[in-house]
Amino acid sequence: MRQTVIVIIFLLVHLGVDAQTNENIIAIGKKYTIYSDILKEKRTYNVYLPPSYQRSPHKKYFVAYVLDGEITKFQEVTGIARSMNSAYDLKMQIPELIIVSVENTDRTRDFTPTHALNYLDTENIGAFANSGKADVFRRFLEKELMPQIDSSYRTLSKNLIIGHSLGGLFAIHCLLEAPQLFSYYILIDPSWFWDHNYIGKRTREVLKNKKDLNARVYIALANNMSEDSRHYQWGQEFYAALKSAASPGLAAQLRYFEDEKHLTVPLPATYYGLRYIFDGYELDINEVLKKPSLINEHDSLMSKRMGLDIRSDENYVNTLGYVALNDRNIPDTAVTIFEINAKNYPASVNVWDSLADAYMKKGLTGKARMCYEKILALQPDNADAKRKLEKL
């Protein structure tokens, strides 16, 4: 009997711990399954939506497709992207991203563009027997998964792909054979060795005659010298081919991570890759507080560079406004910042309320009243705006 009681107490204690744990779970995304008629199998993918997604119903987002997208990779990329755009922490190095990580079933089959059985100078590797179906997997992305994502979420027309190793090989294959799929590429130590550097030879063939590629490509090389120096050589040759290409819309950057190996390079490469892809997106806080019109100049420059209508993050700019209003005590600057934000996001209740705060601090009650009237036009039942309007 005593043993039974001990077991019951043990179970109750642990069930209580589990319940507490479940109540405090921090979820970063959801897992979904889609049946692919092209691949003839079910495929699993994970989706992360940025913090503003639910409260900004008119905002559209870049989508980053992550290969080898099991839970660890999903958490890694999501954590990096979220850290690089945090209005609360005054960081806006990149725009907010929707992240879609695609889990594997047979990565060698899906990521390799040719059927080959060799690794460097070793032939007849049995594990590669099912290789060479990259075009089939690409069609799955293009015809099934990406339309599913675009119909389910508010997405922009330009996509990013992040691929490591064989995933990097597949991403290059997309750049060469289906450049309409992605605009931005983070290639992390791609498998140049595949089929005796097939992808290097194919790159030179394609770029010789193609003059209309529009893409921004980041290449990360790990230190694989102890295995074979050709990894580094082929990576440099690929980068040189991109840099000398006749396509004016093709931009590339390469970084060699001397202190990272093939399996450790993805984390720093993802961070620096995102910085390169969205180079110029960051707003300097102190400079904006000196000259708020830099927000408009920044948006104009980034819109031209990205080929899309880019407006600085609403919450980030709003935070800058309050820094000016409360922390730095420069209300004129705060008013200008909030006015820019209201012009960029006229359907946002939050920006009008913030602008009203700045007007009130300046003693401009008439303009503050106008802000509350704007809020009530957007949300007739907004009790806070009604109360403030009545007080005025």
- Domain end, chosen from 227, 248, 277, is at 277
pTM: 0.90
* 1 within some domain: no
Q: Does 325 share its domain with 226? A: no
- Domain end, chosen from 216, 249, 277, is at 277
* 3 within some domain: no
Q: Does 384 share its domain with 302? A: yes
* 4 within some domain: no
* 346 within some domain: yes
One-character DSSP codes across 303-324:
HHHHTS-----HHHHHHHHHII
Q: Does 308 share its domain with 250? A: no
What pLDDT, on a 0 to 100 scale, did the predictor assign at position 6? 37
Domain of residue 370: give its range. Answer: 285-391
Residue 188 to residues 191, 265, 379, 385, Cα–Cα distance (Å): 9, 7, 47, 50
Rounded Cα gap, residues 267 and 6, in angstroms: 46
Q: What CATH number does the domain containing 321 carry?
A: 1.25.40.10
Per DSSP, the three-state class of 286 is: helix
* 256 within some domain: yes
Give the distance between the most distant pair of CA atoms in the chain.
83
For residues 371 and 345, is the Cβ–Cβ distance under 8 A? no
* 7 within some domain: no
Q: What CATH number does the domain containing 134 carry?
A: 3.40.50.1820
Give strand pairing partners of 188: 164, 220
Q: How far apart are the first and last CA of the chain?
A: 73
Q: Does 248 share its domain with 184? A: yes
What pLDDT, on a 0 to 100 scale, did the predictor assign at position 89? 87
Rounded Cα gap, residues 96 and 358, in angstroms: 27
Q: Does 246 share its domain with 291? A: no
Interaxial angle between packed helices 166-177 and 194-209, expressed in degrees from 0 to 180 and rounded to the nearest 10: 20
Q: Does 143 share its domain with 198? A: yes
Q: Nearest CA to 182 among 64, 87, 74, 271? A: 64
For residues 98 and 62, is the Cβ–Cβ distance under 8 A? yes
β-pairing, 97-102 vs 155-164, is unpaired
Six token digits for residue 32: 């979904």
Q: Does 101 share its domain with 67? A: yes
Q: Nearest CA to 356 among 378, 334, 379, 333? A: 334
- Domain end, chosen from 230, 251, 277, is at 277
Q: Does 256 share its domain with 298? A: no
Q: Does 256 share its domain with 371? A: no
Q: Does 204 share its domain with 162? A: yes
The count of domains in the chain is: 2
* 6 within some domain: no
Per DSSP, the three-state class of 33 is: strand
For residues 76 and 108, is the Cβ–Cβ distance under 8 A? no
Six token digits for residue 136: 């089939």
What pLDDT, on a 0 to 100 scale, did the predictor assign at position 18? 44
Q: Does 247 share its domain with 137? A: yes
In total, the chain counts a number of residues equal to 392
Q: Does 289 share its domain with 203? A: no
> Block means of pLDDT (10 residues each) for the chain, length 392 residues?
38 42 78 98 98 90 98 97 91 96 98 95 92 98 98 97 98 97 98 96 94 96 94 97 95 98 98 97 94 97 94 94 96 97 95 96 95 95 91 88
What pLDDT, on a 0 to 100 scale, did the predictor assign at position 12? 37
Per DSSP, the three-state class of 227 is: coil
Residue 27 to residues 14, 22, 23, 46, 152, Cα–Cα distance (Å): 22, 10, 11, 12, 19
What pLDDT, on a 0 to 100 scale, did the predictor assign at position 14? 43
What pLDDT, on a 0 to 100 scale, did the predictor assign at position 24? 78
Rounded Cα gap, residues 160 and 217, in angstroms: 10
* 14 within some domain: no
